[in-house]
Structure 1
Amino acid sequence: MFNTNPKDALPPMRAGERESRAGGEQYCLSPLPLPTDSEGLADVAHIDVHHDGVTMDIRQGASPDSMMTAGHMLSVGTVFMNGFFLVVFCMAMIKNTAYSQVLAFWGGGLYFGFLFVFILGIIWINTLLKRIPPIRLNRQRREVAFVVEPPSRFWLPAPQNLWLTSAAGVAAAAPGGMGVIEIGEWLRGTRESFPVGLTLLHIGALAFFYVYPPIYDALCRLFKRERRTVLVPWEDVVAVCGFNPNLGPGAVTGFGWNFALLPPEPERPGYTLPGAGIMVGVGGLPGALTQWEYIRRFMEEGADAITPSAREWGVEWYNAYVAREKAECERTNDPARWRRFRRKRLWEHARFAHWYTEYRMKHILPKAVPKDWLAEWSNPLPESQWAKPSLALTELRGALRAAYQRGEKFVEMGDVEKRFSINSIKFRQTPYPSFPFK
């Protein structure tokens, strides 16, 4: 069910079913949001970005890890360029010539490395976050809102396309680095005119990242290719976890567990609606079960039944983390460990990473949806108007709880509906309610 448009549709899986293929395994947890035999519930993947008594928004949020990876790349590039500069500068000193050219190439190389990290680590990630709306769950209506892409491909690449970003990044970074070199030549008088062409190309390529998204959206509206918000009944939503091999050139490089929440396509059993849903990494099958229980318990029992995970980003959290590490090093009288810790944090630009993650969560993520998106749908309802669980779900819950008391496990039961002779399969033949996402 991970592939939204496979060539051959897979048979629709039901809760409890298990499938093995291509060296991996896949467990189906829903449709029919049934309780598992998980020992607890937790937001393992940190996808709960907001919840209240009525709704929960889940999505892949900002993470300081990606920023620290970008900081690591920036440090590596800076050290490499500085080392290369020292070698070349020593050669220039020996020959007593070309000092200005070496300085210009050093500045151009540093600027090129900075732009490479800035475009991939900040501009691209921000564009990606602003164009991935959350999945909104409404427990009172027992519905889930997904934002669905148009079914066919568009002739223009999306603004968050990595290949587009890479091409535009090269078009921005290369003239930027060369422009610094040429400006250096112009300042020392060996170039007659200012490098206007390179400068304009550099500025235009950087402006592309901010001009292209609204142009792309306008063309999508012109060609009737707008995204749509689709309201899917809670009991129809497909939840699966999979154990899949990660393939590298000529070998399996590792295995990873994923948890996915997907909207089925009612008119084509075995398919999912294009471009919708979420898939996140979890630590294993227990992690997937606890993540599912976190979402299911909110929908079935409310916000009081869940405990949000502790926030592990932001300047305040980072300061407390550094203070704890320092106190532990002082307690164990291990100054070498403290120096290693500080060097690693400086190398990764960890403080900036946590500050910018906090900025992203507060200012970048909200741009993924309009301010009035689902405003009326998200309002609380009188309790008399709350949607009720289906009879099949109520019966299966009771049968499962009795089975768990006997020591049976959810992941070993197979199709739970067949196991307890309860048939709830009613394939919908009409599309789900939808409206344009604006």
Structure 2
Amino acid sequence: MPKPTINDSLPPMRAGERESRAGGEQYCLSPLPLPTDSEHGVDVAHIDIQHDDAVMDLRQGASYDSLSDTGALASFAFSVMAIFFLVVWAAIGGFPPPTRVIAMGLGGVYMVLLFPLITGIVFPNVVLKRIPPIRLHRHRREVAFVVEAPGKRFWLPAPTNMWLAAIAGAVAMPTALILFMGLHDWMSTSEAAFPLMTLLLHIVSLAFLPLYPHFYDFCRKRAGQERQTVLVPWEDVIALAVFNPSVSAGAITGFGWNFALLPPDPERPGYTLPGAGIVVGTGGLPGALAQWEYIRRFMEEGPEAITPSAREWGLEWYDAYVAREKAECERTNDMARWRRFRRKRLWEHARFAHWYTEYRMKHVLPKAVPEDWLAEWSKPLPREQWAKPSRQLAELSEQLRAAYQRGEKFIEMGDIEKRFGVEVPPSPCTAYRTLPFAANVA
């Protein structure tokens, strides 16, 4: 394997710099939270799950789209098994169908419905409970990231590993069918034994995903690898707009823009702290800039400077959406459109998807952090105690706004600090303030 020719990391990027490699590119939007002249500050990726006058929590929230896809998959799986049952029944003949065929049909339906249940509900819940938010405090001008702490080598797979869901599903699904057939034999013949081992194996496979994270955390604690909360100065946080191609074996299959908010490693310039930050799709470079402006304006100007994205999930929103669609169909006398609309919503189990999205937002996402996580630190401060922006940030922001008035663009300026001749003191290369993950301190 070839060895790298450079032992040290590349110098850390500064705001305004652009880097291209391997068909992708990235624009550095910070450190120093500078205005990008984006027309709007918009929560494009819907990562602002809550904010008040002092703090904002950012995280990838529950997605209605993923649950509607799960509902459509469940409908498809049920339809396939229903058709298979009817074909088998027609081949055997007789009415009512033999009890063994009924047991096979019920077991088959339960088996195929386990796939969307595990992949669309159980496993995503496990993942969401493992993703703590990024908390920004505009009065303190600090950002709290939850990072992985170094420790002894740890070999257990993380609970978010998709192979765990695949293995659990591979065990749960066949044992479901075997269990139904075994129960039928046990109830219909005196010679058959109760399928106790199959039942236990099936229960264990279903309980594995919800319970494994507790075992994993216990082992990590024993190995000295508990997660930590790191408080990063706001003006040190790294924001990137990243463009990456999707590559298959034959060709480039697609492109995508992402927005990333990451904590730098102060002791290793050019690196970020492990296991922290957020990366979300934004659809394009303007979307990434708008997402950054949304966060920056909250921190620099306050909550009155931003407009949160409209909530498009939950039963209340869904009922209003259905009512609007029905009224429009009645107004245009297009009842065929209304029937198509209803069929699609029923196929996707849309009402359940909206209800469960709301349930996830209220009851699943909060479990990612202790109930009182940073409760004291998150309290508002009196105005006289607010942290002040640095002189360099104020000077560069003023010069940038003047440049925007002249028609210049942020993404075409290059290194902003060099462009305007403002020298920013180098990072002191000392570790940030770090707390145990569950600590509640000011």
Query: How far does the alpha carbon of each residue in 1:132-154 deviate from its partner, in whole angstroms, 9 at most, with x for none?
Result: 10000000110000000134762
> Could you tell me which amino acid in structure 2 is paired with residue 298 of structure 1?
F
Cα distance, 1:331 vs. partner? 1.9
Between the aligned partners of 1:154 and 1:414, the Cα distance in structure 2 is 42
- Of stretches 127-136 and 160-169 in structure 1, the one that deviates more from structure 2 is 160-169
Label 1:185 to 1:380 Cα distance change in 2 as closer, same or farther (>3 A). Answer: same
Between the aligned partners of 1:366 and 1:112, the Cα distance in structure 2 is 31
> Could you tell me which amino acid in structure 2 is paired with residue 342 of structure 1?
R
> Could you tell me which amino acid in structure 2 is paired with residue 305 of structure 1?
A
Cα distance, 1:206 vs. partner? 1.6
8 A contact 1:151–1:274 mirrored in 2? no
Q: Quick one: percent identity of the two aligned structures?
A: 65
The yes-or-no answer on 1:102 pairing with 2:101 is yes
Cα distance, 1:93 vs. partner? 0.6
> Could you tell me which amino acid in structure 1 is paired with residue 54 of structure 2?
V
> Could you tell me which amino acid in structure 2 is paired with residue 239 of structure 1?
A
Between the aligned partners of 1:206 and 1:345, the Cα distance in structure 2 is 29
The yes-or-no answer on 1:132 pairing with 2:131 is yes
Cα distance, 1:115 vs. partner? 1.3
1:251: which partner in 2?
Answer: 251
Between the aligned partners of 1:367 and 1:142, the Cα distance in structure 2 is 26
Structure 1 regions of 5+ residues with no counterpart? Answer: 1-6
Between the aligned partners of 2:87 and 2:11, the Cα distance in structure 1 is 63
Between the aligned partners of 1:339 and 1:8, the Cα distance in structure 2 is 63
Label 1:191 to 1:359 Cα distance change in 2 as closer, same or farther (>3 A). Answer: farther
The yes-or-no answer on 1:11 pairing with 2:33 is no
Cα distance, 1:191 vs. partner? 5.3
1:34: which partner in 2?
Answer: 34
2:3: which partner in 1?
Answer: none
Tell me the secondary structure at the aligned position of residue 408 of structure 1: coil
Tell me the secondary structure at the aligned position of residue 93 of structure 2: helix
8 A contact 2:244–2:257 mirrored in 1? yes
Tell me the secondary structure at the aligned position of residue 144 of structure 2: strand
2:291: which partner in 1?
Answer: 291
Label 1:43 to 1:97 Cα distance change in 2 as closer, same or farther (>3 A). Answer: closer
Between the aligned partners of 2:101 and 2:26, the Cα distance in structure 1 is 57
After TM superposition, the score normalised by the length of structure 1 is 0.95
Query: How far does the alpha carbon of each residue in 1:168-218 deviate from its partner, in whole angstroms, 9 at most, with x for none?
Result: 222222212210121122222275111111001111222222332212111
Query: How far does the alpha carbon of each residue in 1:341-380 deviate from its partner, in whole angstroms, 9 at most, with x for none?
Result: 1111111100000001111111111111111111111111
What is the root-mean-square deviation of aligned Cα atoms in Å? 1.8
Tell me the secondary structure at the aligned position of residue 90 of structure 1: helix
Between the aligned partners of 2:390 and 2:198, the Cα distance in structure 1 is 65
Cα distance, 1:114 vs. partner? 1.4
- Of stretches 137-146 and 328-337 in structure 1, the one that deviates more from structure 2 is 328-337
> Could you tell me which amino acid in structure 2 is paired with residue 58 of structure 1?
L
> Could you tell me which amino acid in structure 2 is paired with residue 261 of structure 1?
L
Between the aligned partners of 2:375 and 2:195, the Cα distance in structure 1 is 52
The yes-or-no answer on 1:64 pairing with 2:64 is yes
Tell me the secondary structure at the aligned position of residue 388 of structure 1: coil
Tell me the secondary structure at the aligned position of residue 26 of structure 1: strand
Aligned length: 432
Label 1:30 to 1:191 Cα distance change in 2 as closer, same or farther (>3 A). Answer: farther
Label 1:9 to 1:70 Cα distance change in 2 as closer, same or farther (>3 A). Answer: farther
Between the aligned partners of 1:23 and 1:101, the Cα distance in structure 2 is 58
Between the aligned partners of 1:267 and 1:150, the Cα distance in structure 2 is 14
Structure 2 regions of 5+ residues with no counterpart? Answer: 1-6
Label 1:113 to 1:428 Cα distance change in 2 as closer, same or farther (>3 A). Answer: farther
1:182: which partner in 2?
Answer: 182
> Could you tell me which amino acid in structure 1 is paired with residue 380 of structure 2?
P
Label 1:190 to 1:256 Cα distance change in 2 as closer, same or farther (>3 A). Answer: farther
Cα distance, 1:127 vs. partner? 0.9
Between the aligned partners of 2:78 and 2:206, the Cα distance in structure 1 is 21
Cα distance, 1:252 vs. partner? 1.6
8 A contact 1:78–1:110 mirrored in 2? yes
Cα distance, 1:102 vs. partner? 2.2
After TM superposition, the score normalised by the length of structure 2 is 0.94
Tell me the secondary structure at the aligned position of residue 30 of structure 1: coil
Tell me the secondary structure at the aligned position of residue 189 of structure 2: coil
Cα distance, 1:9 vs. partner? 3.6
1:291-330 correspondence runs (5 A): 291-330=291-330
